[in-house]
Structure 1
């Protein structure tokens, strides 16, 4: 159970109309499940970044963070591209 407050969350997955959010707390990551219908329409996809407000152990407010979503996707792509490059072998020109 999450204490009342405002948190950053990322949609981990959506299955059978239920979204599982990874919520960033002071103690690390916590999982929170909610119905997809409670999320903004533009944020009903995996990896969307949200600002969520918890009150009385429930989801009180959800705001989509499109710029943060795009920034995280770009950073993940940069890491993937960097890791997918073949390291030079002995005798290769760099």
Structure 2
């Protein structure tokens, strides 16, 4: 697998292994696990968005994308807010 993909930090296991989900056309196509200390510092959190370049299925470079990270987090928050509103409407 070669190319540059959008990667999203799904989780960091035991503080050591970063699990990154690779996306193409907003669909998860692959998972890669790397040592967490290879992540750019600001991406060392769940939901961090990266540009990940692979050669021979190995991660050769990563670039943190702060704008994409912020947009994704805002989108998730908006969805949670809408769900919360729907649930509170049911309770009335």
Common fold: TM-score over 0.5: yes
Q: TM-score range by the shorter chain?
A: 0.7 to 0.9
State TM-score, norm by structure 2. 0.86
1:15 aligns to what? Answer: 13
2: CA distance, partners of 1:51 / 1:71: 15
Larger radius of gyration: 1
How far apart, CA to CA, are the structure 2 residues paired with 1:41 and 1:83?
Answer: 32
Rounded Cα–Cα distance in structure 2 between residues aligned with 1:25 and 1:42? 23
> What is the deviation of 1:42?
1.0
**Which residue of structure 2 aligns with residue 70 of structure 1?**
70
Deviation at 1:88, TM superposition (A): 6.3
Name the Cα RMSD after superposition. 1.7
| Number of aligned residue pairs | 87
Provide structure 1 residue ranges, at least 5 long, that are not aligned to the other structure. Answer: none
Query: Could you list the per-position Cα deviations for residues 47-77 of structure 1 after superposition, in whole angstroms to 9, with x for gaps in the alignment?
Result: 0000000012211100000000000101111
TM-score relative to the length of structure 1: 0.84
